[in-house]
Structure formats: C-alpha cells, structure tokens
Amino acid sequence: MRNKPTLVSRRRFALGLGAGASITALAGCADDDQPNGDDSEPEPEPEPEDGPDTFSIEGQVADLDTEEAIEGAVVSLNGDEQETDEEGSYSFDGIEEGEYTVSAEADGYEPEEESVTLPPDQGDFVLLSFSLQPED
C-alpha cells in the first residue's frame, strides 16, 4: 500500500519567485498507524497562516543640478542605513505594512526626507528617488 504524503510546512520564502509564491514541503508517512495507536483518521492540522505581506522601497539618489548619480549616499529607512552603489541605487526589501520615513544624505549636499506608507496603492514596491541640492 502506498503512503499518502503529509503536509510538513507551508511558508513564504524570499527566493525571487514573485509575489505570493509559496513552497510546500511534503514528506511520506512511515506507515498507516497513527501516533496515538488507533486506526482512525487524524484530525487535520490547521494550515499555518502566511506571514505578513512584505514590500520593497527602491530608488536612486542623484545631484539635482547635474542629474548625475551620487555613489556612496546614505539612505536611511527608520534607522536602517545603506549606501548607494555606483549608479546611485538603493533597495530595502522585506518591509512590512506601515508608515516609514526615508532619508538621503551625501557629503556636500542638503539632506532630504520623505514619508512612505505601505502597502502602496498598487504593486509590491515603492519607487522613491531623491534629487539632492548641493550645499552653498
């Protein structure tokens, strides 16, 4: 007699599978005996709820006058910081629903700050670019 697969877990993984992708792991039953020793069907386990939806905030930091990318600008999201790459790009991933403050600053430029509300109206990311004014 063939064993029926048992649902072990269902979780959402960030593997670049796209929004709403999930992976289901299955394992075969060792035998038809139930752990409690009787032959009755086990009560189905409640399916675990998916974790909270997450979103991304991404963009570029550039010079307001020249429109050239600013490499090494510091972009902060509620205290988490990262530096922009050679193209002035940054990306924060795995952000839960809520209100956030995003700021950008670089040597020789006036800092800039924006408020962002997640989830966005459509999609799963917010494109937020900064054009920094050179200091006088």
Cα–Cα separations (whole angstroms), residue 86 to 68, 74, 109: 11, 13, 17
Q: Is residue 77 one of the residues assigned to a domain?
A: yes
62 closest CA partner among 109, 134, 130: 130
Q: Is residue 42 one of the residues assigned to a domain?
A: no
Q: Is residue 83 one of the residues assigned to a domain?
A: yes
Number of separate domains in the chain? 1
Owning domain of residue 127: 54-132
Q: Is residue 117 one of the residues assigned to a domain?
A: yes
Q: Is residue 6 one of the residues assigned to a domain?
A: no
Q: Is residue 7 one of the residues assigned to a domain?
A: no
Tens digit of pLDDT per residue, the chain (136 long)? 433 322 222 222 232 322 222 222 222 334 444 455 556 676 766 554 555 689 999 999 999 999 999 999 999 998 899 999 999 999 999 999 999 999 999 999 999 999 998 887 778 889 999 999 999 8
Up-side HSE of residue 45: CA atoms within 13 Å toward CB? 8
How long, in residues, is the chain? 136
3-state helix, strand, coil in the chain (%, to 5): 0, 45, 55
Strands (E), 31-127: 54-63, 74-77, 80-83, 89-96, 98-105, 112-118, 125-127
Q: Is residue 93 one of the residues assigned to a domain?
A: yes
For the whole model, what pTM was predicted? 0.61
Q: Is residue 43 one of the residues assigned to a domain?
A: no
DSSP state of 118: E
CATH number at residue 78: 2.60.40.1120
